[in-house]
Amino acid sequence: MTEIQGHAARALLAVLRGRSLTAVLDDVRSRNPRLEANERAAIQDLAFGACRWLGTLRAVLTQLLRAPLTDAEVEALLLVALYQLHWTRAAPHAVVDGAVRTCVALGKPAAKGLVNGVLRNFLRRREALTAQAQATPEGRFSYARWWIDETRAAWPEQYAEILDAGNLHPPMWLRVNRRRGDAQSCRATLAQAGIDAEPLDAVALLLAKPMPVLALPGFEQGLVSVQDLAAQYAAPLLDLASGQRVLDACAAPGGKTAHILELCDVELLALDRDAQRLDRVRANLDRLGLNARLRAADAADARAWWDERPFHRILLDAPCTGSGVVRRHPDAKWLRRPGDIAQLAAEQSRLLDGLWHTLAAGGKLLYVTCSVFPAETESRIAAFLASHDDASRLALAGLPAGGQLLPDTRHDGFFYALLQKRPAPAD
């Protein structure tokens, strides 16, 4: 317990100091090779849980302290332990005792009495403390106040449901590789291994219970990939045909790249600014038995990579706040800043403008973000259409009007807009 709490507390503190939780946990695994798989999983669960409920945990902790803590490590430890006591099934005495001993492991023996007293006080007053924590928006929803305000301004009738959905544990969807099977045959394979799954269509399967990907039958052989249902709309919406030249402009980690190639025989170029992230794309394609041309480049600077041959289809999965997938990345709630929205919107416009002239006349560009903030979604497309008279927006079959999928119990939050360039005039 002590080692797990200590690693989780350090991970939470690193997030609060600006580091990605994924990167922090990768460091924990690489620097502590002796950790067992169950220990790594426990550290991840505590770190993710503390990030997910940080606003509520802070509201509770404030009530338990006479004055704000000046020691950030001790505060992070208390937040992790409070998460354990309120949201997990860990034995309370083991959590409290472990946290006290973790003080010594962190080099903070003087904090033992404080930690012991705060946690025991919480156990005595749990219901009253948690009820009082709900009195503020930050405690009720567990987001930064600016994020709550932004969501409420955009979705005044649905903001509470959107924020609550972001605190759920995400469902685990599979995408079957159409070149190797379909949802029904894959479901039968999973059932033989005692895994229950619900097919939605020819390729999408919802697991009844999330599980490690390497435990999935056929995963390493390229039968299935893990991909949220909302993300699975991208490739079919491109309206692909064999022989087309297709660009995936911001490809890493490669889920949508692979889906395109599973559906159709196309000539595909996958770009990403980060060469290391392209390694993940290549690994995904190799596992699935697929092939594409990969290149590290800034998609908006076409002069650096384009061969002047127009693309029939372009997928622009643009960088964004990730406000629609925050349940998968709860650290984003605390890493993002209010000014990020405008900065990312400017980058999205730069990419749209830079890519448009690489699209063939009559070609289609699918703009995608995993956001629920209008500046990154509807407003971005409206601004683009206002400045490009050769662009029109097409209807999207099977999606809500406007192309906005809000996060719910079945899928993440995504936005889609399909744009078509005016066809060339007939001779």
> Are 154 and 406 a contacting pair, CB within 8 Å?
no
> Are 155 and 399 a contacting pair, CB within 8 Å?
no
Q: Is 199 exposed, middle or buried (0-12, 13-18, 19+ CB in 10 A)?
A: middle
CB atoms within 10 A of CB 204: 20
Question: What distance in Å separates the CA atoms of residue 386 and residue 147, rounded to the nearest whole number?
Answer: 28
Q: Indicate which residue of 103, 250, 264, 370 is catalytic.
A: 370
Task: Give all strands of the β-sheet with 224-226 in edge-to-edge order.
Answer: 197-199, 204-207, 173-176, 224-226
> Are 322 and 21 a contacting pair, CB within 8 Å?
no
Sign (positive or negative) of CA dihedral 213, 216, 222, 228: negative
Question: What distance in Å separates the CA atoms of residue 48 and residue 68, rounded to the nearest whole number?
Answer: 24
Q: Enter the DSSP assignment of 229.
A: T
Helix segments in 72-157, DSSP class H: 72-87, 92-105, 112-133, 137-141, 145-154
Per the listing, tokens 């599980």 go with: 211
E strand intervals along 241-358: 245-248, 267-272, 293-296, 311-317
Does the annotation count 370 as an active-site position?
yes
Question: What distance in Å separates the CA atoms of residue 222 and residue 177, rounded to the nearest whole number?
Answer: 7
Q: Which residues participate in catalysis according to the annotation?
A: 370
